[in-house]
């Protein structure tokens, strides 16, 4: 199978367990509502990776799956599941890249499940990039996508993960190593209450423009008040 398809697209996600997903939305949503929202994010993200053609699809789960959600997906061909390995996000991404290159893939791209409106065109641009590195900058100072070509580029150490300096620190490392990188258009993750409010507004305008992206998520958000939990 790999002989006919030399690119791998990986979705990093969490097993949808109440109280363990999107916890930074806790001031806005109760744990059950947050879980239901994350399930919509997962549905949108998994549909997105299956909308990308000429690629092998993987889902890297942050811990050993317990809910059965990923095993019940009905897409054909199914995405290959694996459990992320490593002490922090950098180690887990590095291992995922290393494993795919060892399997013979030439281009490997990782995205997260926190950008339900991410255009598939950005993912396809990353998969077809001729640069050794491709990065999708996020408005929070991190990145929503990272891709490598040919081999693992060593840039996952000395990064303060979860902060607003992740992208800047990554680009400094690449510059020091002399590694050329392509930057995709800026997009956004949904981690904080203000991100969720922006997502709702964005989806409303997309629907107004006749775009169907994230319609189920928008329908769910329309049921919520998005006012701080008292």
Residues 157-174 have pLDDT tens digits of 889 998 899 999 999 999
Asked whether residue 229 carries a pLDDT value surpassing 90, the answer given is no
Asked whether residue 4 carries a pLDDT value surpassing 50, the answer given is no
pLDDT digits (tens, 9 = 90+) for 45-85: 999 999 999 999 999 999 999 999 999 999 999 999 999 99
Burial of 161: CB neighbours in 10 Å, binned 0-12, 13-18, 19+: middle
Check residue 18 and give its pLDDT.
97
Cα–Cα nearest to 59, from 80, 34, 84, 87: 80
**Cα 170 from Cα 176, distance rounded (Å):** 10
Average pLDDT over residues 137-152: 96
Residue ranges with strand state E in 48-142: 56-61, 80-83, 107-112, 133-137
Asked whether residue 2 carries a pLDDT value surpassing 90, the answer given is no
Domain spanning 2-190, CATH class: alpha beta
- Tell me the whole-structure pTM to 2 decimals: 0.95
Q: Hey, what are 134's tokens?
A: 């491709």
- The H or E element spanning position 41 is helix 31-51
Please state, for a pLDDT cut of 70, what percent of the chain lies above it.
97
Cα–Cα nearest to 228, from 25, 22, 21: 25
């Amino acid at each position: 199978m790999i002989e006919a398809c030399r690119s791998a697209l990986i979705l990093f996600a969490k097993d949808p367990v109440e109280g363990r997903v999107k916890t930074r939305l806790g001031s806005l949503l109760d744990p059950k509502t947050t879980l239901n929202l994350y399930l919509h994010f997962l549905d949108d993200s998994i549909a997105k990776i299956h909308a990308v053609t000429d690629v092998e699809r993987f889902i890297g789960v942050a811990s050993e799956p317990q809910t059965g959600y990923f095993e019940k997906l009905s897409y054909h061909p199914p995405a290959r599941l694996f459990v992320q390995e490593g002490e922090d996000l950098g180690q887990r991404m590095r291992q995922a890249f290393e494993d795919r290159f060892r399997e013979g893939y030439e281009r490997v791209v990782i995205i997260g499940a926190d950008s339900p409106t991410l255009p598939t065109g950005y993912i396809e641009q990353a998969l077809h990039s001729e640069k050794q590195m491709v990065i999708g900058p996020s408005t929070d100072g991190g990145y929503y996508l990272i891709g490598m070509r040919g081999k693992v580029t060593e840039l996952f150490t000395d990064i303060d993960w979860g902060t607003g300096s992740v992208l800047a620190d990554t680009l400094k490392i690449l510059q020091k190593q002399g590694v050329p990188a392509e930057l995709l258009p800026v997009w956004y993750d949904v981690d904080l209450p203000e991100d969720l409010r922006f997502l709702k507004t964005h989806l409303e305008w997309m629907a107004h423009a006749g775009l169907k992206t994230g319609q189920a998520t928008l329908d769910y958000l329309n049921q919520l008040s998005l006012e701080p939990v008292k």
